[in-house]
Amino acid sequence: MYTLDKARKEALVSLKKTLGKKFLVTPDMLTAAPKPELGDLSFGCFALAKGQGRNPVEVATELAAHLGLSTLISKISSAGPYVNFHFNEANFASLVLHDVLKMKKRYGQGTAGKGKKVLVDFAQPNTHKEFHVGHIRNALLGQSIINVLRASGYETIGAAYIGDIGAHVAKALWGYEKWYKDIKIEKSERAKVLGEIYTKATQYVADHEEAKLEIAEVQRKLEAEEEPWLGLWKETREWSLASFREIFGELGVKPDEWYFESQVEKPGKELVKKMLVEGIAKKSEGATIVDLEDEKLGAFLVLKTDGSSLYATKDLALAFKKDEDYHADRQIFVIDVRQSLYMKQLFVTLRRLGFTPDLVHIGYELVNLPEGTMSSRTGNVAKYEDLRDAMRAKLTEETVSRHADWRAKKVKLNAEALTQAGIAFTMLRQDPGKIITFDMAEAMSVDGFTGPYILYTIARIYSLEAKADMPPIMLGEQLTHPLEAQLLRLVAEFPSVVGKVAASYQVSMIAQKTYDLAKVFAEYYHQVRVLDDVNHDRKGARLALLAVVRQTLINSCDLLGMQTVKEM
């Protein structure tokens, strides 16, 4: 049990002991006090007073006078209708220091998910297209959710789902044969060239009607597994997959399983046949639909008029495939918020098919450029590799200017970590339901609500610790500065924030708390000269506080999928 949990438990025990069986006290009745000067935890007396037919202010005053103190509760007061519990600062500080320094990388982990299995469907780029910043948000959000669930005790499987068949593939292969089949493409350029072909083909089709028929024929032959198209598909598909594996590695994205649309197309069509036989689906103007009007979800199209598959055809089969492979209690889908209606239709249809695991859709909004909305069809996209290279170049230049004595390898690793942190934090710091406008200059800044700022804070603490002439000492009673109390509170709140995110999937809460901790530490750094302190015990306690703040920031970065550095 973490320190904040212990303090809450002591306050609850005191309330229950005093009130007895006359009133049922539950943990949710204890909330954070609205202002630090009022206390640390508050208990509202409205329901208690109502049951007694009394004034809640009078009840609060009387109750505060009868409650007992404990190890972590040193004072109890009333303010209006609230009873406020004040922590014993010395004991609270000592326990927080002990928690973090003992648990280290495990600090913040919980057991809420013990015995439960969750599968997260994320990382869903299409082959034969380039990986852009919108794909980054999906992949990083899914991986961070996976990290948090694992930290909370859930057995968690991360499943990438790759779109490797369909009209976009036929279009790219048709374009390749038309313009590139006799051109030697360097291995490092293959994925990029495929994306360029797709864009060029899309633009060409807009002005050449006959090309649509040619591409449709390519798709038909692909689905029939005819050569040479099948062989070309396999070859170029691997070009994209090799690129995805490299990009995922750079971003810290680690799928445990890879699923492909090509795996589930035929099973999906067989499932639709079964749905027709069982009356779950029906024909409508030649197409196959599931009538969801009674759920106010309209008609769910599961097979085209010509018998070709749709996303729904494959997604229905995929859900059963994942369940067969992993038997998860819950399947989470990290998918564009614009697919919200589709996901509701999919979930209801799965229920009608007897699918029993919990189904959760985590929607996320678009990622735009400062100049406007992206589109892979028009070529107006911020390609991941272009973004990465531009950021690395700038950060390399800045690192060299600060550290002319660093070796090239060290500069390179530093710039890569800063780039990755800049991208990850920008993608995760906002509520998934909000549109992101990705500003590269802001993402690289070491000042403000950014990844590099968090890394800079960690590096600054490492630097202080390296210069210290004594080890840390866990003496909480020595930490009496107001900013030290703030830092300890933020550190103490970290485990409960992780727990809340595991329940809500709002990883932006971790990003915000991480920034809050770094910001308060910056104030502390400028106000308190830790290494110059002449009081031995206080200096040792402050060094322990530095270690605790650093470890909490690192653990936060781990959950957000951010690499850290020791020097900047």
Residue 286 belongs to a domain with what CATH number? Answer: 3.40.50.620
Closest CA to 45 of 74, 4, 31: 31
CA 42/CA 45 separation, integer angstroms: 10
If one counts every other C-beta atom within 10 angstroms of the C-beta of residue 104, the result is 11
Q: Residue 373's pLDDT is what?
A: 54
| Residue 443 clears pLDDT 70, i.e. is over it | yes
Residues 56 and 161 in one domain: no
Residues 55 and 130 in one domain: no
Residues 316 and 226 in one domain: yes
Residues 82 and 137 in one domain: no
Residue 449 belongs to a domain with what CATH number? Answer: 1.10.730.10
Region 431-436 average pLDDT:
94
| Residue 376 clears pLDDT 50, i.e. is over it | no
CA 318/CA 326 separation, integer angstroms: 12
Confidence band (pLDDT; 50, 70, 90) for 381?
Answer: low
pTM for the full predicted model: 0.94
Q: Residue 299's pLDDT is what?
A: 97
Residues 187 and 268 in one domain: yes
Buried b (16+ CB within 10 A) or exposed e, 16-47: eebeeeeeebeeebbeebeeeeebbbbbbbee
Q: Residue 283's pLDDT is what?
A: 96
Residues 72 and 132 in one domain: no
| Residue 319 clears pLDDT 50, i.e. is over it | yes
Q: Indicate the DSSP class of residue 189.
A: G
Per the domain annotation, does 376 fall within a domain? no
Strand-pair partners of 14? none
Identify the three-state secondary structure at position 534: coil
Residues 326 and 270 in one domain: yes
If one counts every other C-beta atom within 10 angstroms of the C-beta of residue 182, the result is 6
| Residue 379 clears pLDDT 60, i.e. is over it | no
The percentage of residues in the chain with a pLDDT greater than 90, rounded to a whole number, is 94
Residues 282 and 356 in one domain: yes
Region 463-476 average pLDDT:
97
Count how many domains the chain has.
3
pLDDT single digits (tens) 509-559: 999 999 999 999 999 999 999 999 999 999 999 999 999 999 999 999 999
pLDDT single digits (tens) 489-502: 999 999 999 999 99
How high is the mean pLDDT of the chain? Answer: 95
CA 472/CA 102 separation, integer angstroms: 13
Confidence band (pLDDT; 50, 70, 90) for 34?
Answer: confident
Per the domain annotation, does 286 fall within a domain? yes
Residue 44 belongs to a domain with what CATH number? Answer: 3.30.1360.70
If one counts every other C-beta atom within 10 angstroms of the C-beta of residue 278, the result is 10
Residues 29 and 132 in one domain: no
Residue 217: φ, ψ to 5° = -70, -40
Domain C-terminal end among 87, 113, 147: 87
CA 68/CA 83 separation, integer angstroms: 12
Per the domain annotation, does 539 fall within a domain? yes
CA 271/CA 325 separation, integer angstroms: 17
Residues 144 and 78 in one domain: no
Confidence band (pLDDT; 50, 70, 90) for 223?
Answer: confident
Confidence band (pLDDT; 50, 70, 90) for 36?
Answer: confident
Confidence band (pLDDT; 50, 70, 90) for 377?
Answer: very low
- CA distances from residue 242 to 247, 368, 396 in whole angstroms, order as listed: 9, 26, 26
Domain C-terminal end among 87, 113, 132: 87
173 in Cβ contact with 427 (< 8 Å): no
Place of tokens 């069509």: 269
Q: Residue 22's pLDDT is what?
A: 84
Region 371-381 average pLDDT:
53
Region 43-63 average pLDDT:
96
Place of tokens 């502390």: 524
Residues 164 and 248 in one domain: yes
E strand map for 45-101: 73-79, 82-87
Q: Residue 380's pLDDT is what?
A: 57
Pairwise pLDDT comparison (135 vs 378), residue with the higher score: 135
Per the domain annotation, does 401 fall within a domain? no
Per the domain annotation, does 396 fall within a domain? no
Region 379-390 average pLDDT:
83
Residues 141 and 43 in one domain: no
- Angle between helical axes of 311-326 and 340-352 (0-180°, round to 10): 60
CA 542/CA 258 separation, integer angstroms: 47
Per the domain annotation, does 391 fall within a domain? no
Region 79-94 average pLDDT:
97
**Domain of residue 491, residue span:** 422-560
DSSP element (H, E) containing 335: strand 330-336
Closest CA to 127 of 237, 201, 216: 237
Confidence band (pLDDT; 50, 70, 90) for 372?
Answer: low
451 in Cβ contact with 428 (< 8 Å): no
Confidence band (pLDDT; 50, 70, 90) for 193?
Answer: very high
Domain C-terminal end among 368, 386, 412: 368
Region 175-199 average pLDDT:
94
Confidence band (pLDDT; 50, 70, 90) for 134?
Answer: confident
| Residue 426 clears pLDDT 80, i.e. is over it | yes
Q: Residue 368's pLDDT is what?
A: 87
Per the domain annotation, does 402 fall within a domain? no
Tokens of 32: 């954070």
Region 202-213 average pLDDT:
94
Per the domain annotation, does 390 fall within a domain? no
